Structure 1
């Protein structure tokens, strides 16, 4: 099978994208506040998966729109900084956080210690738990304007965990139904006022924001899974900010309108170790040896990515400095026509092409390969249930806490909630526990790399490349965030001239 050649975006695609987006953005450009500020039109890649519940990955949308906030935020180095909490200190298993005074939720109610405890307790007792709390038993109690957070074992990463958008603090009204509803319940500079299912969202400026008045009067969001349509929206002027510009379109856009940032995101082939062909370690080794990641980087990503040496990439420079050669336990066997099904999704336009390239490479090595490609919302449950022999995923490695230990635990621990490889290994579990328990600093980084090596030694996953985020900002956009962790997009300072 030959991959299609790259082409310039045709005029018909631009027209189609314009028609697709006009319903959401119509009239938005002319809407201005007294100072002439324009609403910001944003085209986002993935529709909400769980009704914008902060207990799911949808939380990162709430964070990128600056509508829901957390007790702590992270700086560029991943260190914890004040947000809704102003100070904190540790005493054994307990951390005490002082809650910021003068903050109100979008419904006018006051932020206090009880509100913080309610949100944290909802997250800690949810089923399933937010990914950031994998393996963590957490309780919260109010004491005046302070909140004590206690974990079952001493946890050096509590502040970093509390920076996860999945632990956003919302008003009481958000928790009145069966699902958590963030509409009108955040504390950020923009209030979520309307959600149009999986098609759109509307946010208006919250003038009582504790951190100062936002420069833009509001945000109009359209969810556009098709990457070509998102790129067309930037070219046609239908959107002001476009996230996740496909590599295939980046080269044909005005380069002054795109920003490319190396990010902690790895394109990985997860191999199902629980059943099927890849339960055999020798066939996992054969698959690993058959994969030519450099060809994928050059052919699919047009050089706009970095070939992977491990699960953690150049966004974490210390990883390469600490990494040692991996000693694997199995030699490559002969596939002899072993039949495998590889799953992936269409939401990131590169994924089907990566899967098609892998199909060619693995068939050349002797596997018989079938592809199953769908939208992510329609394939995630099957992937988590282990219904594929392998799954191609673009995975953020420090998305939750700014620390890769949480990602490694979630994806490769026996009890991890995102264990696509159906992987169970006592030695890896021990290595992951050590990494999670070690204090922040050089020793923790060394333990993280040791855990990475243990995963790679078992060929539970084959890291192929590290991605770069490509974001489009129209010429009039000022101070849009370019965040490699994908937590910030529109901030209090973002506006359109």
Structure 2
């Protein structure tokens, strides 16, 4: 049975109802009423029509509708998913596919389907960020074996192939220029309907290779407003709510929220290509002006960790490998005007930007803020339209390994290089980290690459976030994943 709705202040209740009422169903898709469907409130709406070649891929993963050849365990090591085993021989990796897997349209998973999906991803523009700096080709060997070849030996390839952006979809998904995941995945839930940026519907796929899901389906509503998401949990309008804002966590029953340290860093990216922060001395002045501890206490109410580097406590090995970083000396800002951009989708970021505005102005800068929804500001940020940009960034989101994040954000040809950084020393350190075999040697090379980035002051890490997820009291088996890959699983259901 569902928990009775809690009383809400009238404006909050009305806001939640306006956003959510009518978008969730309590019965099966066929009206049979078998079990109760899971009602999920997500933070960010789709930005690319739920294409797996974009960040929307992580929604498909969190709904257990699209799957990859391998997945990651708690330590970030690769383990079987659609592939049951793999073997490296130089630049070649041979993957053996799982028997008995069907796509949601009834077609069978085979080597040609895997090759089709990987080839489309490898040729995409822009590429999925997990493939930054990686050239790969895939060829079938019979019906159940795929050989993936990289331009250079890549010790991290299995982990790369765990990225939700490299999900394997049915042929029907690739008709035309876009990739449409509706009815094309292999997971326990089939994506059956998408209503633009408002909602999505998924039904249980009874022929799933891993068994029958315990819930009959999932009804998703995209609710960018954090207050409305929290209100939906309090009022009983939603069963699972992702990314509860810090400001709302104290208003919820502690038994309904889970707080997990996560590999996500709140960073101020500084534009090194043009504007005031092209000057290393002014970047150093900005770095010296930032008081991260006050932001943690004031904005995050202590529910975050002040940053010592780009990699936080979710990667405990990083702190023990760090050495002192030599940086440029700060120069006086002398009233130089800078514009900081950020977005509203994560409720804390506009507050962080406002705190930074005050701190930088006290240091002698003049600061303007530009705040929009993420979908409306991302392209400008990537184009270098701002002097600085506040971003909440997952550091091991794709591969379980931070080398890919560092390359994407700070390599000269990185696909997410908001700082517009082009530094040969950084490029060399990133190349070394990416080419080092997994284990202690790779971790050391990653920390050396982090140091090379920090030495440029292209990015000022401020704090490491904790994910706060809300689950209604009758929810069983919801995932609490610091990598933000899992949410609703095969076993998630309502009592």
TM over 0.5: yes
Q: CA RMSD in A?
A: 1.3
Alignment of 1:1-80 (within 5 A): 10-25=9-24, 27-28=25-26, 36-80=34-78
CA distance in 1, matches of 2:15, 2:203: 28
Alignment of 1:244-393 (within 5 A): 244-328=243-327, 330-393=328-391
Q: Which residue of 2 aligns with 1:193?
A: 192
Cα separation, partners in 2 of 1:10 and 1:368, compared to 1, 3 Å: farther
Alignment of 1:44-123 (within 5 A): 44-123=42-121
Structure 1, unaligned runs of 5 or more: 1-7
In the TM superposition, what is the alpha-carbon distance from 1:28 to its structure 2 partner?
A: 2.4
CA distance in 2, matches of 1:452, 1:29: 50
Give the number of aligned pairs: 488
Paired residues of 1:194 and 1:203 also in contact (CA < 8 A) = yes
Q: Which residue of 1 aligns with 2:449?
A: 451
CA distance in 1, matches of 2:29, 2:155: 47
1:161 equivalent to 2:121? Answer: no
Paired residues of 2:28 and 2:34 also in contact (CA < 8 A) = no
In the TM superposition, what is the alpha-carbon distance from 1:11 to its structure 2 partner?
A: 2.9
CA distance in 1, matches of 2:14, 2:326: 53
- Other structure's SS at 2:22 match: helix
Q: Which residue of 2 aligns with 1:495?
A: 493
In the TM superposition, what is the alpha-carbon distance from 1:23 to its structure 2 partner?
A: 2.4
Q: 1:232-264: CA deviations, max 9, x gaps?
A: 000000000000000000011000000000000
CA distance in 1, matches of 2:276, 2:381: 16
Q: Which residue of 2 aligns with 1:467?
A: 465
Q: Which residue of 2 aligns with 1:180?
A: 179
Q: 1:154-176: CA deviations, max 9, x gaps?
A: 00000000000000000000001
Cα separation, partners in 2 of 1:386 and 1:154, compared to 1, 3 Å: same
Q: Which residue of 2 aligns with 1:5?
A: none
CA distance in 2, matches of 1:240, 1:33: 19
Q: 1:442-481: CA deviations, max 9, x gaps?
A: 0000000000001001101000000000000001100000
In the TM superposition, what is the alpha-carbon distance from 1:31 to its structure 2 partner?
A: 7.1
Which stretch shows the higher mean deviation, 318-327 or 254-263?
318-327
CA distance in 2, matches of 1:240, 1:111: 33
In the TM superposition, what is the alpha-carbon distance from 1:16 to its structure 2 partner?
A: 1.2
Q: 1:365-410: CA deviations, max 9, x gaps?
A: 0000000000000000000000000000000000010000000000
Q: Which residue of 2 aligns with 1:128?
A: 126
Cα separation, partners in 2 of 1:213 and 1:30, compared to 1, 3 Å: closer
In the TM superposition, what is the alpha-carbon distance from 1:36 to its structure 2 partner?
A: 4.3
CA distance in 2, matches of 1:35, 1:138: 47
CA distance in 2, matches of 1:341, 1:165: 34
CA distance in 2, matches of 1:426, 1:116: 36
Paired residues of 1:93 and 1:154 also in contact (CA < 8 A) = yes
In the TM superposition, what is the alpha-carbon distance from 1:30 to its structure 2 partner?
A: 7.9
CA distance in 2, matches of 1:391, 1:126: 26
- Other structure's SS at 2:182 match: coil
CA distance in 1, matches of 2:476, 2:76: 25
- Other structure's SS at 1:23 match: coil
In the TM superposition, what is the alpha-carbon distance from 1:320 to its structure 2 partner?
A: 0.6
Paired residues of 1:105 and 1:185 also in contact (CA < 8 A) = yes
TM-score normalised according to structure 2 size: 0.97
CA distance in 1, matches of 2:32, 2:476: 19
Q: Which residue of 1 aligns with 2:3?
A: none
CA distance in 1, matches of 2:87, 2:10: 58
CA distance in 1, matches of 2:57, 2:33: 31
Cα separation, partners in 2 of 1:136 and 1:31, compared to 1, 3 Å: closer
Alignment of 1:475-490 (within 5 A): 475-490=473-488
Paired residues of 1:41 and 1:220 also in contact (CA < 8 A) = yes
- Other structure's SS at 2:137 match: strand
CA distance in 2, matches of 1:156, 1:279: 35
CA distance in 1, matches of 2:239, 2:30: 15
In the TM superposition, what is the alpha-carbon distance from 1:178 to its structure 2 partner?
A: 1.4
TM-score normalised according to structure 1 size: 0.97
In the TM superposition, what is the alpha-carbon distance from 1:37 to its structure 2 partner?
A: 1.6
- Other structure's SS at 2:21 match: helix
